[in-house]
Chains A and B, each alone.
Chain A
């Protein structure tokens, strides 16, 4: 028996769907799609905050520092890499020293180091003077609280084994209060602990670069001002790249492909549901007919 159309459109093989996804995501690599992009409020705020630090650093002897809390691993590098890159680019070009550090993800600082090295090479910046890598310190809450109290009690050497006090950049940092912004990049959570334990005591601003998935969860903090800004997913990174003028970054390049992929998902949702609705209606009619004939 021939299948009715609503069953047919519900039974497309999943491999065909996969293939279409692959093709649709690939197409914009070769056929560029125009990208009119507005910079969202959260990204703009984050950018302004870093600019503010840069302005201060121009004249100050003891510079303000940004701490990159690199809680991401290769699984989410697609989003976190461009975010870190955009921020590192901004900090390096505008003379804002930064620290790489992680509590949960051993790979985070290693990948971030690679990013920083690449960007630094282009701008003639040097490790030790413009940034430092604390590396991975597996900290439970007690250790973290001590870290807030006294950085040097928890971090004695950088990843290269250089005693941390002899790294030139660290002359700007006596305590965590000299860090002016936390930039937490993550694919899961953990940013709350900065807000809970660091911010009330020291007034250090917290910001986040997160995968799009956890973006919505951050809005209560953005609303309350506990978080100054956010880069949300690839689009956040692309917007930041636009602000920094780093248009060859991974963020901007990827946005074209998002379009077709999104439309495909919406189309699939509609197709599946149309089939479902008609099938249900037919089933209901059949049932009624059976009941009628039964009488």
Chain B
């Protein structure tokens, strides 16, 4: 029961969606659209799990006074405030409440809604900063990993070195006086277009086969780890 019902549901919908791909008829297109909508609707309810889990973990930390429990308040309060602002005041467009405030109190919200203000000045800057940490990490990773330990490591190191050199103007000065087709920038382009592309294609084909095989195994109920145990 506990396994058979879910497995047959996965089987039925998997097969239906494969067949759907080959049918251009209006009924099939309509069905596809409704399926996409249904998947989004089911997805709404994930957030009940998400928020409950987050609150549980942080409440547990606060209760047991675990190290750093004070920060759990930061998470919980900022979650509550942001969700309130977004649900009451609107996400991308203002709700009627926000519109009323704008009209009667002459509020000026450049971004449209309170949520977008929070998004623009808190979430985006922090996200962009996390992203830019990569500039530092890519340097430390290069320093540590690019050592000529073995033949494969040498290949990795050399191509990275040459491509990096080819990306800066100073690099192209080195080969300035050489014939056109061994100019550094042309070499780099060739590496990117041929050996690099070749390996990428090989890897991608492998991934494709792996994905197709796993999808088939899921549909046929052979791959069932994601459902957990029981019968």
Binding between chains A and B? no
Query: Which residues of A are in contact with B by a Cβ distance under 8 Å?
Result: none
